[in-house]
Structure formats: structure tokens, C-alpha cells
Structure 1
Amino acid sequence: MIRSLPALALVSALALAACGANGSAAGDSADTTPATTTKSGKPFTSAEMGKFEEPWALAFLPDGRILVTEKKGVLKLVRLGGDTVDVAGVPKVDYGGQGGLGDVAVHPDFANNGYIYLSFAEAGDGDTRGAAVARGKLVLEGTPRIEGLQVIWRQEPKVSGQGHYGHRIAFGPDGMMYVSSGERQKFDPAQDLTANLGKIVRLSDTGMIPSDNPFYDQGRVKAQVWAYGIRNPLGIDFDSEGRLWEMEMGPKGGDELNLIKAGTNYGYPKVSNGDHYDGKDIPDHAPGDGFEPPKVFWNPSISPSSLLIYKGDLFPDWKGDAFIGALSGEALIRVDLNGETATKADQWPMEARIRAVEQGPDGAIWLLEDGENGRLLKLTPAY
């Protein structure tokens, strides 16, 4: 999926269930009122545009074709109303648990350079693995293929387990590449600035470290870090003012939407509005605790999978709002964004786990269902 401002945009893991909040956030208080569910019918119609095996992400090419990743390591090139073919040259993935082929993003200047980006779970020594991001040129003449694929970023260190990779990719208005890096179910690395687990990292489009990163002069891994104290960040996107938002699958009772600021600590696992799955308490966000609280959090669980800040014109009333795919919640969720504030708005039941949400070139909203035979859906206004 590509995540960027319109000027830059060309536009399956079985996730652990995450829950909502057990307390009030400090500072910028989170909205805890129940989200509205449309009872008289959804304000959009849904059209099936294809089916895939464990799809994880999608991105649009300038000519309207779509790239769709499948978790087992297949990249599909989809021509609507035409053929769907496999793209050759995809990296070998470590498939299992939440791991496999993840996000796909198109370079903001794809029309001139042809670069795409893939995130995936990569095997390490012994029983270890970690997320990686690779880039290569997508060649569409003849057999579609990726040439010159090169890994430009890796989670460090690689660890055991098959969960919480995060690995969403977004290009910012500054031309930089932002990658969400989960804490791999290891808790403490989210606070450890010598590791890049549990972080949002900021890199150039070639994987170099920008000199204006907040910890640039403090070691190679730490220099990558843009924000930290993050659990399993499964959605990142920029709003029209260039603010970076992050959708995070929290612990039991702690799914949250964060406004990401450079050098900021979001608290996990020291604080959270949720608790550990074994029942152990995590202190709630509190005034003066030194951690940035979420803008919105959820109780009960929604298990967020993805995030889109809508910038199209097809749904004019929703321009600038956040859209979230929900796994255990089996819903599409809308959050009203107004500057740096967020308010829950709508929660539409979709009768399926939603793995990805994306905006199409014409302003339609596109969804990918999770799991086997996951449908690609196009949402357009119902009236």
C-alpha cells in the first residue's frame, strides 16, 4: 500500500486480537464514546473486483492496474476487467503465523523510475526472523517482473516468534520513506533505542538515514528512529497537512490511533490503556507520565489492520477523515479528523475480516478481505 499526500501518491497474517481501552488518556484526551453504526443501510455500495489467497496489501499503478500482495509470497498484477498475473522476482518470505509477504508501495516518482517497495518477513539464523523492506524496478513489458531487488531496511535484531512485524510503508510529503516496525511480541524492545523494533523509522527512498532524524548522531540503528514506544503498528498515513497518523493493534484493551511526532515516546509497554493478555496490569496513560497518549482508543477490541486518510472527492463529506480496517471487528471504521483531534464517527459491519483499506485514483475506497478467497472490494457512494 502506498501512503502519501496527493502530490506524492500514485496510489495474510492471522493477527492477534487486540482490544480497546480500560481507562482515560491524559493530555489530549481520547474519545471513548461508542462509534456510530449505520442502521438504515451503508452509505456506500460494494462491488467485488476479484479474489485472492491471504491478501495483505494493495497499491495502484499510474495506469490504473493494481498490485496485490498475498501472504505466502505472491505479488499479483491486476488489470480490472482483464487478466491477473503473477509478478516474478518477489523475495523469499518466511511464511507462518503473522509472517509472509506484507506491504507494497509505489515510489512517488514511479512514472519516471519504476521503483516499487515490498515488506516481508525474512528468516535469520536459527529460529529467528524479522521484517525487511526491499525495493526494485517493476518491469511491465513481457512477463511482469521485479529487477534489481535489494533489501534496504531490516528489523534489528531478528528474534524468535512469528508476530507483530508491523511493516507498513508510507511516503511522506518530505519525500522520505516511513516504515512501521512492530515490537515482535517482545515488549521491552519498544523502549530500547538500540533496537528498531517497536518504532516508526524514517529513511530516504534508497534506505539512507536522513540527517534531520531526531537521533541521527546517536548510532546507526537509533538514527533510524522517528518515534518509539509502539506495539504493533499496522497502519500509517499522512493527512493533507503533512501530519503522520498511526493505527496500532494494542494489548488486551488498547487499540489506538496516534498522531506521530518526531522523537516522541508513545509509552508501550510502560503504559497503555490496555492490559497484558495474561491479565497483568499495564498502567494507563496519566498526566505527566512523559508519554504521548493516543488520540482515540477502542474498547471493546476492533483489531485494526490498516489505515487510510481519505483525500478524494468521491465522498466529499469524508475528506480528511481516517478509515480503519478491522479484523476481529469485521468492520470498516471511520474516525473524524479535525486538525490534531480525532472523534469516532462510523463503524460499518462488513461481515468479514478487513485486512487493508486503500483509496483508488477516482476516489473510491478499496478493501481487501483477510484469509483464503479474500475479496477485493470497491466502495462507491450509495446515493
Structure 2
Amino acid sequence: MGTWPAQAALPPGFQRSTVVSGLSEPTVLEFAPDGRLFVGERGGRILTVENGSLLPLPLVQLAADTLNGERGLVGLALDPNFATNGYLYAYYTTNEPRNRVGRLTVVGNTADPSSEVVIWQNPDLAADFHHGGTIHFGPDGALYIATGDQMVSANAQDLSNQHGKILRVARDGTIPPDNPFVRVPGAQAPIWAYGLRNPFRFVFDPATGALWIGDVGGNVAESWEEVNRGVPGANYGWPNQEGRVCYVSDCSAYTFPVYAYQHNNPAYSTDQVQASITLGPVYRASAFPAAYQGALFFGDYANRWIRSLVFDAGGVVSADPLFDSPPDAGTIVDLRVGPDGALYTVTIGVAFSGEADVGAVHRLAFPGGGGNQPPVAVESADPRQGPAPLTVPFTSAGSTDPDSGPGALTFSWTFGDGGTSTEPNPVHTYAARGLYLARLTVSDGAAATTTDAIPITVGSPPVAIITQPPPGTLYRAGDVIPFAGTATDLEDGALGAGAFVWQVVLRHADHTHPFFGPTAGATQGSFTIPATGHGPENTFYEIELTAIDSDGLQGKASRAILPVVSPLALDTVPSGIPIFLDGQPQLTPRVYQSLSGFIHTVEAQPSFVLGAAPYLFDRWSDGGARVHTLVAPEGGGGATAFYTPTASVLSTASVRFRGTGGGTTIDRIKVPVDPPTPADVGAGDFTVEFWMRGTLADNVTPSGPYRASGDTEESNVDWIYGNIIV
């Protein structure tokens, strides 16, 4: 459990209120032109908040897969013509499982699942983690889609798949002819930009149209969280470059981030080394003070704060002030500006035994304009649980008005069962068993503050007990972990399988990842510890059981199981040459705390310039190939990559493309060839197939077959491709 620095929760004049809580892993928000708020839950349910109230029936329930990892519904977007056509787009994982963008037609406050039209879906099946998931319409009317690398880092650099990319399609799913890789042989036509790890959230600036990408960083202390400026055709470098660090000899082909922060920087992390960026909106509304105009908001899911990026006149980041302090921002997974100019946030509230957090939508507003400060609302109640009828004294003690006006404080209570009160310290009696949410709103006549809900449990919640696995259970990669439990209730007696909900979460540092479930309707089951995938360092699994009785009251139990750690000592000779472990860059020397039996892929770079000295890979100490499998042994192990010095990393041999310019035959492109120098191909012609992107001289206009579709005569950047007989 983390410790959080002492900070003011929000800047002066701002207030936090809860719009709706008690949601089941909400992931995304989308505002309709008429002010309705659509809230997507990971399980595929889309809810509607209208006039500040959650409607009792969902807009739609999609058949989304959430059984493994982070799959599920994670993105929503409204058609630019939503007011007339009712089109709502959803990014989710199907039960196949495959990541998809489907278009639904909203009529009133419902959307028939049968109205779905598939706009895009990934050619490959979905992995457990790194799905990306944001979808937005750009100022050009095209639909932009973020995809993660699916836990295979090499995917990000591979144009033959759609992982680790920003994609761009038309509203009907067809490919715009001016996409940058449309005419590149072997490349996937929807790709707009690539080289990303997990671009979970991206946004368009409503004033300038600029695209900003938040790329979630790696899993080691030296990893970076990034904010990138979206550029068509750009390569953002993952896994060869991250943040401000280049892990290979040359990163000149990559687009570096506009802003980045490192996991091990104590200014951004808790006592746990962790981070996970959730990019938010560029603020262009008028409800916040002028200093926030043009600020780019972003949160951190793992560290539970919100900051804003401030840009100078030249567009360079000049500051990143804290806006909402940890842990108050919660497990934040989306941020939007509402039609009222307030900032709305979503906390996913994945169940685990750490700090309490709920699935909820919050509103951060500035009612303090004109000098008035909103009141501070404090509520408490005792008792909060007991048999029916339950009489509960409530108190507003501690509620204050920082600037004493303009009016006297007034109080408005809602008790969750239909009862209300305007007394500062009311007493309320609950007649029926059930779970109720009580809230207090305090007003000074010009501004009001609403508290988070206090849960009042009337009746006896069930007692849930996990019987398997036993306490102290250890696991290795590949182990099958059985789970089982019982639940009893004072009113209902022993509860049957229909009352059970199971979920397994992956605890990573001080945050969680969904791993298995939720799954309901069974008193027992099992899951398998992966031998590949999410890195095992600084992780363990936690089994969560929720039992629900006939009154809707819940009892919970959790059981942690712990890894059999296998330390891997990784190094190079000379030390200091980065290697790649499961595709993620690692600085050497490095002791990686792995899991016994976990199957890693270790990769040594073929060459590297360390300082000013070039080196070539020679061998691994374990005799493996330059890229090979390393199984973490019981008790630990390791491997060292040996390099030899060389006069030059690149040979003098090259492939030349020749052209005619100014009446003289000259070399137009000379591409060095990695050693060893290729053997002579012998007599006769041979064909080189190539594609490249070039910048034409100012006095040259693209023409003929060399101009990509959609380019104009004024364009000076073009794709050239074809075959050359050498």
C-alpha cells in the first residue's frame, strides 16, 4: 500500500463532486450534444446519465470479453452528425476474442445491439494486455483508432500488423487514400503512425486540431510515460527508444516525445516505482481560470493524480503543475471536458485489498469564479450497518465556508431510500434491508459541494470465505491455481453458486491489472499462471470473492498468492550495452526479479556504439543465439552477452540507387549494409524491391507514378516504391 505526499487536493476555488458511483469497472466517457453523458463499463454495458441522474436501464449491453486480462469495452466516440443519425462507435473486445470498433444506432436512450455495423476489427486475435482503445473523430472527419502492441514489443515497429499504432479509417471503415502507408508494399493500409507501446488515450485539440498521444511506458524503474504530438507517418520508437532515452546506437529515425516523466522520479511516483499515463483533454472551455486555457490535462492511473501541461508561446512544455493530488484522483482511466466546462473523470475501481476506490464518475469544477470559494462539505454517520429498522444519526460537522458567503450555509441530504432532509444533523430511519448511499450537499447560495456517498448497510451482509487456495500459497509459471469458497447469510442461510462472483487481479507495484473475470455462478474454479506475457517482476496475484445475498448486500474475501522469485543477473561485456528482455529495453547490469519457470526472450543487439567505441555481438554466456529463449530457473540464474570491439559498426559495402541529375549520373541514395558483407551475387542482373519516403527538393514537384494518391503538386514529401534491376 502506497504512501501519498501531503498536498492540497485541488487548486483554490475548485471543487470535486461525484456524478455517479457504484459502477462496475467504468472505463470511458462520452458527452452527447444534448448534454447526456454515456458511460462505458469494461464488461460491455453502456449507461446513460441524464440531468445528473443515472438512468435505471442501460443504453445497450455489448457482448464484450472480459474473462482474461484487460479485454473489454474501453473506447466510445460519437459521430460528428450524432444529433441527426444517432451513431455511437464503441471499441471493445469480442468473445472471439478480437478487438473491434462497432457502430450502434442510438434511438432515445436505447441502442439495439442488432443495429451494430462493424467499422473496423483487428485482423489478429486479441492478447490479454495492451489494447490501446481510444477512438476519436479528427477534424478531417476520419476515425482515428489507438491499438497497443499486444505485449509483443516488436509489433510496434512492424508495419505488417496493426498493433502499437494509431490507425485512420473513414466513417464507414474504408481506407482514406491519403493514409501514409497505403502504397507501401506489405504495410497495413489503416496505419497512420506507429512505434507505440500502449497508446491508451489520445485527444484532439478542439481549437487547433493537433493530435496528442499518451503512450503508457514499460514496466521497469527506468521506463518513461510519454506525451507525443501526432504526425502522419511518424515512428515513435518503441521499443528502441522511450522517453528521452535511445537504447540502440541510432534513434534519428524516431519522433521523440514532447513531454515525458520517468517511473523512478519521486516527484511523480509514490513510494512504489510505477506509472501509467491517462491522457486527457486540451482545455478550451471558459469555466476555468484563464491560466488553464490551452492546458493539456493528464492523469496517472497507478499514482492517482492529475496534472496539466503548460505550453509557452513556441509550443514547448514549460510546466506540468499538479492539479489533483494523490490519492484523490483515484484509479483514473478517462478525462473529458463537459458541456458545462467542468472536467469529468472516471475511476475504474478494480477490486483489490489496497486503498478503497470505487467505480465512479467525478466532476471537477470551478464555481469559485468572481472570488467566491465553494463550501467544504463533510458528512459522517454512525452506525453504518445494522438490522432493520436501522436508525442512523447523520452529521455535517466539519463543513465550512472558506469565505463566509455570500449566504449562510444550507444543507441538503439524500439518504438513498427516497428520504431527504435539510437539517445540518438529521436522524433517519431505514425500514427495509438493503444497501443505501447517503449524500450531503452544502451550499453558500452561490456554489455547492456534494460529498461522496456514505454506504449504509441495513441487514446483515453475507460472510464470504475463500477455502482454496490456502493462505501462504506460492506459485510458479504454468501452475494451475484452484479456487473455492463458501458464503453464508444470516437471513438467507448458505448461499448457492448464483450468489458467487470471482475475480483475479494482477497486483503490480501499488496498482492492479484485471487478469481473470469477473465470472459468476460458481463456487469453485481455476486459473493458470502465465509463463509468458506481462513481466513477472514486482507482481503477485490476488483472488477476490464477492457473495451477494437476496437483499443485494455484499460480503467480500480476498486471498493473495505469492511468486517463487527467480533472480536473473543480466549483463554485457563490456557492461552498459542495453539488451532486450521480452522485447523491453533493459539497461545493464541488471538483476531482474523473475518468476521460476517464466519463459523469457533475451535479445542482444547485433552492434552498439558505447561511448565512442563500436562493438559487435559475439556470443551469450549460455551459448544461446543472439535472440533466444531463457527460462527462469529455480533459485535464479542469468546470462551475459559478450561483444568484441570493431573499427566500424557498418561495413563499407552498400546498396546504391543511382539516378540522373544535372546531366550527370550520381548516387542518389547509398544504404550501408550491416556486416558481414554479403557475398557477391555473381553474374547477371538481380532485382531489389524497395520503398522509401523522401523529401523532394524545393524545385521538384511529385509527378507520375511516384506521387502517392491524394498528394498535390504543392506537396514536397512523397512515397516512392518499386523494383530496380541492378
SS at match of 1:292: coil
TM-score, reference length from structure 1: 0.81
Shift of 1:255: 0.8
Distance 2:304 2:261 in 1: 14
Distance 1:40 1:132 in 2: 38
Residue of structure 2 aligned with 1:380, choices 365, 378, 382: 365
From the superposition, tell whether residues 61 and 202 of structure 1 become closer, same or farther in structure 2 (CA, over 3 Å). Answer: same
Do 1:94 and 1:123's aligned partners in 2 also have CA atoms closer than 8 Å?
A: yes
The one of the two structures with greater contact order (alpha-carbon pairs below 8 A, sep at least 6) is 1
Residue of structure 2 aligned with 1:359, choices 320, 337, 348: 337
Shift of 1:295: 0.8
Letter aligned with residue 99 of structure 2: A
Q: Determine whether 1:295 maps to 2:258.
A: yes
Structure 2 partner of 1:29? none
Distance 1:313 1:286 in 2: 47
Question: 1:193-215 deviations in whole A, cap 9, x for unaligned?
Answer: 01010000011111111011111
Structure 2 partner of 1:80? 51
Superposition pairs for residues 86-125 of structure 1, below 5 Å? 86-87=57-58, 89-95=60-66, 96-124=68-96
From the superposition, tell whether residues 40 and 260 of structure 1 become closer, same or farther in structure 2 (CA, over 3 Å). Answer: closer
Do 2:241 and 2:251's aligned partners in 1 also have CA atoms closer than 8 Å?
A: no
Q: Determine whether 1:42 maps to 2:42.
A: no
Letter aligned with residue 260 of structure 1: G
Structure 1 partner of 2:307? 333
Letter aligned with residue 341 of structure 1: V
Residue of structure 2 aligned with 1:138, choices 88, 95, 106: 106
Structure 2 partner of 1:13? none
Structure 1 partner of 2:224? 254
Structure 2 partner of 1:346? 321
Structure 2 partner of 1:5? none
Structure 1 partner of 2:515? none
Superposition pairs for residues 203-222 of structure 1, below 5 Å? 203-218=169-184, 222=188
SS at match of 1:138: strand
Shift of 1:42: 2.3
Shift of 1:108: 1.2
Distance 2:249 2:300 in 1: 27
From the superposition, tell whether residues 40 and 230 of structure 1 become closer, same or farther in structure 2 (CA, over 3 Å). Answer: closer
Shift of 1:86: 3.7
Letter aligned with residue 60 of structure 1: F
Q: Determine whether 1:269 maps to 2:230.
A: no
Question: 1:110-137 deviations in whole A, cap 9, x for unaligned?
Answer: 111110110112243xxxx342111121
Shift of 1:145: 3.9
Do 1:50 and 1:375's aligned partners in 2 also have CA atoms closer than 8 Å?
A: yes
Letter aligned with residue 20 of structure 2: G
From the superposition, tell whether residues 349 and 272 of structure 1 become closer, same or farther in structure 2 (CA, over 3 Å). Answer: same
**Share of identical aligned residues, percent?**
29
Structure 2: give runs of 5+ residues left out of the alignment.
Answer: 264-273, 351-357, 369-726
Structure 1 partner of 2:287? 314
Question: 1:339-378 deviations in whole A, cap 9, x for unaligned?
Answer: 6422442222142211110010121110111215322111
Letter aligned with residue 38 of structure 2: L
Question: 1:304-333 deviations in whole A, cap 9, x for unaligned?
Answer: 123211121111321211111211110111
Structure 1 partner of 2:161? 195
Letter aligned with residue 235 of structure 1: R
Q: Determine whether 1:245 maps to 2:221.
A: no
SS at match of 1:167: coil
Shift of 1:379: 1.0
Question: 1:3-45 deviations in whole A, cap 9, x for unaligned?
Answer: xxxxxxxxxxxxxxxxxxxxxxxxxxxxxxxxx9964852421
SS at match of 1:47: strand
Distance 1:326 1:307 in 2: 10
From the superposition, tell whether residues 162 and 64 of structure 1 become closer, same or farther in structure 2 (CA, over 3 Å). Answer: same
Shift of 1:296: 0.8
Letter aligned with residue 376 of structure 1: V
Letter aligned with residue 363 of structure 2: K
Letter aligned with residue 168 of structure 2: R
SS at match of 1:257: strand
Distance 1:70 1:40 in 2: 27
Question: 1:149-206 deviations in whole A, cap 9, x for unaligned?
Answer: 02211223225x3100001011111111111111111111111101010000011111
Distance 1:131 1:221 in 2: 19
Bigger shift: residues 329-338 or 64-73: 329-338
Shift of 1:84: 1.8
Shift of 1:223: 1.3
Do 2:20 and 2:53's aligned partners in 1 also have CA atoms closer than 8 Å?
A: no
Shift of 1:263: 0.5
From the superposition, tell whether residues 294 and 284 of structure 1 become closer, same or farther in structure 2 (CA, over 3 Å). Answer: farther
SS at match of 1:368: strand
Shift of 1:271: 1.7
Residue of structure 2 aligned with 1:178, choices 137, 144, 152: 144
From the superposition, tell whether residues 219 and 78 of structure 1 become closer, same or farther in structure 2 (CA, over 3 Å). Answer: farther
Question: 1:77-105 deviations in whole A, cap 9, x for unaligned?
Answer: 11134342343544311103211111111
Do 2:46 and 2:60's aligned partners in 1 also have CA atoms closer than 8 Å?
A: no
Distance 1:234 1:260 in 2: 14
SS at match of 2:56: strand
Distance 2:111 2:89 in 1: 15
Do 1:327 and 1:354's aligned partners in 2 also have CA atoms closer than 8 Å?
A: yes
How much is the aligned-residue C-alpha RMSD, in angstroms?
A: 2.4
Distance 1:178 1:65 in 2: 23
Letter aligned with residue 119 of structure 1: Y
Distance 2:231 2:249 in 1: 19
Distance 2:155 2:57 in 1: 37
Letter aligned with residue 132 of structure 2: G
From the superposition, tell whether residues 216 and 256 of structure 1 become closer, same or farther in structure 2 (CA, over 3 Å). Answer: same
Distance 1:112 1:313 in 2: 27
Largest Rg, 1 or 2 = 2
Do 1:75 and 1:86's aligned partners in 2 also have CA atoms closer than 8 Å?
A: no
From the superposition, tell whether residues 286 and 175 of structure 1 become closer, same or farther in structure 2 (CA, over 3 Å). Answer: farther
Letter aligned with residue 154 of structure 1: Q
SS at match of 2:93: strand
